[in-house]
C-alpha cells in the first residue's frame, strides 16, 4: 500500500516546488494465529552494504523520468509503486531480512 499527498504551504522548501509526502505500508502475512511483519534490519547494515545499496539504487533509477508538474496523479501513483518495488529489491540484496511475530523478542 502506498499513500501520498502534497503538503500544505507550511512546509516550504525555499523554491517553487511542492513537497510530496508518501507512506509505504509494511507487507503483512498471516501465519497460524500470529501476524508476521516482513522487513529488513537496516540498523546493522555495514558501510560496504550501504554503498552497494546506493550503487544498486542509482543503477535502477538512472533511466527513470524525474517527476514534474506535468505528471498526472496516475503517473505519480505508478512512480510511487515503482519506488516501493525497487527499494524492496535493493534491501533484499543488501540488508538482512527479518520476520517479527507475536513471540519475537523486542
Query: Average pLDDT by consecutive 10-residue portion of the chain (106 residues)?
Result: 73 71 64 62 89 92 84 89 91 85 63
User: Which residue from 81, 78, 80, 86 is spatially nearest to 61, judged by alpha carbons?
Assistant: 86
* Cell 523486542 belongs to residue: 106
CA distances from 89 to 32, 33, 57 (A): 27, 29, 9
Cα dihedral across residues 31, 33, 38, 42: positive or negative: negative
pLDDT at 53: 92
Supply the pTM of this predicted model. 0.57
* Domain residue ranges in the chain: 27-100
Round to whole Å and give the CA distance between 59 and 61: 6
Amino acid at each position: 500500500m502506498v499513500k501520498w499527498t502534497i503538503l500544505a504551504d507550511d512546509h516550504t522548501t525555499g523554491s517553487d516546488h511542492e513537497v510530496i509526502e508518501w507512506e509505504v505500508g509494511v507487507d503483512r502475512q498471516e501465519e497460524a494465529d500470529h501476524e508476521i511483519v516482513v522487513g529488513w534490519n537496516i540498523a546493522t547494515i555495514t558501510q560496504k552494504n550501504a554503498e552497494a545499496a546506493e550503487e544498486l539504487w542509482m543503477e535502477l533509477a538512472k533511466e527513470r523520468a524525474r517527476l514534474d508538474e506535468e505528471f498526472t496523479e496516475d503517473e505519480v501513483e505508478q512512480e510511487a509503486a515503482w519506488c516501493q518495488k525497487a527499494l524492496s529489491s535493493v534491501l533484499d540484496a543488501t540488508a538482512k531480512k527479518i520476520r517479527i511475530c507475536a513471540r519475537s523478542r523486542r
